[in-house]
Amino acid sequence: MEEKKISLNKTLTPQQVAGFLRLLADELEGKTIPESDKLEWQLHDFNKLKIKLIRQEGGQLSLRLKVKDHSSQSTTTAPTEFTDIAEQEYRPFKQELKATFAELNACAGQGQLPSPELLGRFMKQSQRLIAYPGFGDPYYEEYWQTCQLMEQEAKNGSIPGFQEKMTGIASIKRSCHRRFK
């Protein structure tokens, strides 16, 4: 039998979580409602279902849902929003960004400016990072602005300015990871 996995990790309002849980309950009871057709997946054949809610600052909730299905009879596929974006795309990308950030930090720690190639790679990766919804959205604007200021300091040849902005980026990163990891 083929095992199917559906994963969801989203930051939502309490009302959105409540609505989702109502749809989930209706699906478990076998009710057919118009909203469930939008989900394009069925739960009646699941073997394992995990739900985790984490209360975030500002009243939002982080909803983590994992469903394992061992049925080979189901022909529906999980819609994109329910595939495990974190496992398939985001986490591998974050490892690349982490390595690039470490290189930039090493330059700052040694009192050197980064090469234009390293700086360009970091900026492209940062731009890609802020395009992922649900993975730290409240921090994206401040992060991007600080990255742009850091890039400007590096291009202007200001080592102290570059180091200061790198410290700012690291601080934003820590705050985001405390909230969303």
Q: What is the mean pLDDT of residues 131-152?
A: 91
Grade residue 141 by pLDDT with cuts at 50, 70 and 90.
Answer: very high
Residue 4: predicted pLDDT: 61
Residue 64: phi and psi, rounded to 5, are -120, 120
CA diameter of the chain: 64
Q: What domains can you pick out in the chain, each with its CATH number?
A: 4-83 (no CATH), 86-180 (1.20.120)
d(CA 136, CA 23): 26
Residue 68: phi and psi, rounded to 5, are -115, 135
Grade residue 126 by pLDDT with cuts at 50, 70 and 90.
Answer: very high
Q: Tell me the HSE value of 152 on the side-chain side, using a 13 A CA sphere.
A: 7
In the block, tokens 């409240």 appear at 138
Residue 74 has pLDDT above 90, yes or no: no
Residue 52 has pLDDT above 60, yes or no: yes
Q: What is the mean pLDDT of residues 22-43?
A: 61
Grade residue 87 by pLDDT with cuts at 50, 70 and 90.
Answer: low
**73 or 130, higher pLDDT:** 130
Q: Is 46 helix (H, G, I), strand (E, B) or coil?
A: strand
Grade residue 161 by pLDDT with cuts at 50, 70 and 90.
Answer: very high
Q: Is the whole-model pTM more than 0.75?
A: no
Residue 33 has pLDDT above 60, yes or no: no
Residue 25: predicted pLDDT: 79
| Integer angstrom CA distances of residue 100 from 8, 51, 104, 121 | 28, 34, 6, 8
Query: Is 110:138 a contact under the CB 8 Å cutoff?
Result: no
Q: What is the mean pLDDT of residues 142-154?
A: 97
Residue 15 has pLDDT above 80, yes or no: yes
